[in-house]
Structure 1
Amino acid sequence: MAHSNSNSRQITTIQSSAILVSTIIGVGVLPLPLFAVRAGGSGAPLVTLLGMLVGFLGLALISLLGMRFPNKSIVEYSEDIIGKWLAAIGTVLLIAFFSVLTSLAAREFGEVVVTSVLKNTPLEVTVIVMLLLAAVSTRNNLVTFSYIHLFYFPFLLGPALLIVALSLKNADIINLQPNWGNDQSQMPKGVLTIAALFQGSFVMTIVIPGMRNPKKSMLASVMAILIAGGLYFAIVIAAVGVFGAEEIKNLLWPTLELAKATSLPANVLERLDAAFLAVWVTAVFTTLFSSYYLTIRFVSNLFRLKDHNMFSFFLLPFVFIMAVIPQNIIQMYDIIEDVGRIGLFITIGYPAFLYVVSLIRGKRGDRVGTQPVDPAN
């Protein structure tokens, strides 16, 4: 599936960044300060920062691999690097992991909607509606995929930054002391949990083959991590500053409470939680859209199929069943934290392994049959 014609390369560096940001910012925004505070107390911002660095490690490895094999997705170049059978095992693990990730995100979305907005709606209805929306949207090519992300990008970022900026006026700097927290024993675990929130960035493995200039994938990655990570960092600072670490431990979704506690100047909107939930629904959609799209693209790559559309509804029942397995919110968050941390072996460990082996074996995919890239792009 090497792209010989240059017109299939249409995705710009800015679009790649937008895809990454709107994929990373998702369901996890709501419980984010809780995850960070559990691990580091008043050191929650530090935990977030370290988690962001670990998350970037995985993305950097994917970008490095993408630059070495600019015409192939990870499914294809992993076969060049470690052989067909080992690569197939890796791909199956990736498919399994991202379908679980999709189902957990859909479930988390359902829980929030049923708890805070549509109190009489069955959980299954909200979950299946969101999954159907994602499934229908995945029946597009990569260019349309990137346009959808680019379109939603400002709607995600603007209101979220506004809420953080407005809530900082209620923050108390004392709540953020000491900066490194009182007890560091839980920090490593927390750093991994936060890093797991960046795993959607794996979508870069299918974006790079469509980029006009794959050499700029690292630039796109750095920009995306700075924007998404910066927003996460700001949310945690705002939440801990406003509520304090001990209070956050009693809140299920501190970011939502932050929006409730924040008002626009001159009381234009007294509570911003309704506006925030609208933004959050968009964020969940773009994240689900990416992880679902990634999953079915991997499946079609594995079976060497030109078209991934046939899988968009084929996977739906499996993802839905996985989504309704957790018994309640508490169990769901335990599963999310565990799956996220274990998943780091797949989303960081596997690319690291591939990259090291490709260096040792001197494998590259960017020498043979590449077309000269127009410097204007």
Structure 2
Amino acid sequence: MEQPRQITVIQAAIILISSIIGVGVLALSLFGVRAADSAAPLVTILGIFLGTVGLWLLTKLGMRFPRQSIVQYSEELIGKWTARVFSVLIIAFFSIITALASREFGEVVVTSVMTKTPLEVTVIVMLILAAISSRADMTTFTYFHHFYFPIIVFPLVLIVVLSLKNAQMVYLMPVWGNEPSGMFAGTLTMAALFQGSFIITLVIPAMRRPERAMIASFVGMVISGGLYLLIVVATVGVFGAEEVKNLVWPTLELAKTTSLPANILERLDGAFLAVWVTAVFTTLLSSYYSAIRFLMQLFRLQDHKLFSFFLIPFIYVIAMLPQNLLAMYDFIEVVGRWGLVFTIGYPSVLLIVALIRKKNQGSQGDPSVAKPN
């Protein structure tokens, strides 16, 4: 059964933004500084560029096959069984990043807010919330993101802009950093923070005008990437690279040092955490929703609700595997970098095959789908 085409270009961009901006906000600057010291903004820019390449590949594929997701059109391009192997790996990957997102959420909550609450409780509560919300259809899923979008973006922009008044340009020098040898690994880590954009492969088949999906992708990446870059510049500019290395969650510390004009609020960390929890929910919802929708398509089912709670036990076990906070972030970096094989490498191969074989849905005798230029 074909899903209704109700998502607009603006809604598609909003889904991308709220899917990308999530748990990575807290440790974003730390990843960049560890890789290249004061060159963290430059590493972020390179990561944004690499993430944009992956999103462009997925969007081009989606425009060639505007009624199918990557699980479906990959079988036409590289064969049923080869494609299914990669589809299983993609499902496993999004299950793992859902687990790590829920674990990071739990660590922050039990450390900063509910110090007497067991970690396991916060993790399982967030997973259950995502599972219940994921039972919705694509239209309701879109409304989730549309509703929470202003709650996430505008307060974050306000906090970052206000914090810039405390920044010192000397902390951002030299632009190339003192140890540029770590820039490549840092770029991969930064690009991994944009893997939430993979949701575009599910969004395009539900768009009213899929031929305009590239506009939504561009807007989504510019806004989310621009906000990430601002966060890194503000954090490094306020604390300096060496001090950021000693902070577990630099963005949270940045919010603590920021106040509203006239001291209406002397610290914004409480408001920031509320915004961050919302951002975590939308990101985790997108990754969990992707996993169960891909499962539905892999097994040729008509409804994904069957898998809504099926994955929770597996994801919970994965979430609790890291022994501590440092092990968790090491795990996140490794998984994120290897995940680029599925979010950038695999779509590259599919697009090349589609171009060589001149495959698109327009060539399959469907007059209702225009061929992309």
TM-score, length-scaled by structure 1: 0.97
C-alpha distance in 2, partners of 1:201/1:125?
A: 29
* Match of residue 167 from structure 2: 171
CA contact (8 A) 2:361 2:369 kept: no
| Aligned with 1:336 (options 327, 332, 336) | 332
State the alpha-carbon separation in 2 of the partners of residues 232 and 301 from structure 1.
Answer: 33
Match in the other structure for 1:12 = 8
Could you tell me whether the CA contact under 8 Å between 1:171 and 1:241 is conserved in 2? yes
Contact map agreement 1:67 1:366 (CA 8 A) in 2: no
CA distance in 2, matches of 1:370, 1:230: 39
Please state if 1:198 is matched with 2:203: no
**One-letter amino acid of the structure 2 residue matched with residue 28 of structure 1:** G
**Structure 1 residue 149 and structure 2 residue 145: aligned?**
yes
* Contact 2:148–2:278 (Cα < 8 Å) also in 1: yes
The whole-number CA distance in structure 2 between the counterparts of 1:233 and 1:335 is 23
1:175/1:240 contact within 8 Å kept: yes
Structure 1: gaps spanning 5 or more residues: none
Change (3 A) 1:174 1:269: same
* Farther-moved stretch of structure 1 (175-184 vs 230-239): 175-184
Count of equivalent residues: 369
CA distance in 2, matches of 1:370, 1:167: 54
1:263 aligns to what? 259
Instruction: Work out the CA distance in 2 between the residues paired with 1:217 and 1:102.
Output: 25
* 1:369, distance to aligned residue in structure 2 (A): 2.1
1:305 aligns with 2:301: yes
Out of 191, 210, 218, the residue aligned to residue 214 of structure 1 is 210
Letter in 2 for 1:371: S
What are the Cα deviations for residues 241-298 of structure 1, in whole angstroms up to 9, with x where unaligned?
A: 0000000000000000000000001110110000000000000000000000000000
The whole-number CA distance in structure 1 between the counterparts of 2:2 and 2:77 is: 16
User: How far, CA to CA, are the matches of 1:370 and 1:132 in structure 2?
Assistant: 43
Aligned to 2:30: 34
Quick one: distance in 1 between partners of 2:243 and 2:12?
A: 38
Are residue 369 (structure 1) and residue 363 (structure 2) matched? Answer: no
CA–CA distance in structure 1, aligned partners of residues 309 and 39 of structure 2: 44
CA shift digits 1:62-102 (9 cap, x unpaired): 00000000011111100111110011011001000000010
Instruction: Name the Cα RMSD after superposition.
Output: 1.0
**2:147 is equivalent to residue 139 of structure 1:** no
Gaps of 5+ in 2: none
Q: Please give the alpha-carbon distance, in whole angstroms, between the structure 1 residues aligned to 2:111 and 2:333.
A: 20
CA shift for structure 1 position 372: 6.5
The answer (yes or no) to whether the contact 1:42–1:179 under 8 Å persists in 2 is: yes
Counting only pairs closer than 5 Å after superposition, residues 43-62 of structure 1 correspond to structure 2 as 43-62=39-58
Q: Is the 8 A contact 2:362 2:369 kept in 1?
A: no
Structure 1 counterpart SS, 2:180: coil
Q: CA deviation at 1:366?
A: 2.9
Q: Deviations over 1:29-54 (max 9, x none)?
A: 00000000111111110000000110
Q: Deviations over 1:323-352 (max 9, x none)?
A: 111100000000000000000001100100
Runs of 4+ off more than 3 Å = none
Q: Are 2:225 and 1:229 equivalent residues in the alignment?
A: yes
Task: Write the distance in 1 (CA, Å) between the matches of 2:287 and 2:357.
Answer: 31
The AA in structure 2 aligned to 1:256 is: L
Using the alignment, how far apart are the partners of 1:16 and 1:81 within structure 2? Answer: 26
Is 1:320 the counterpart of 2:313? The answer is: no
| Matching residue's letter, 1:369 | D
Q: Which residue of 113, 119, 124 corresponds with 2:120?
A: 124
Of 59, 62, 65, 2:61 maps to 65
1:293 maps to which of 289, 295, 301? 289
Q: Judge conservation of contact 1:2–1:72 (CA < 8 Å) in 2.
A: no
2: distance between equivalents of 1:372 and 1:285?
35
Q: 1:281 aligns with which of 265, 270, 277?
A: 277
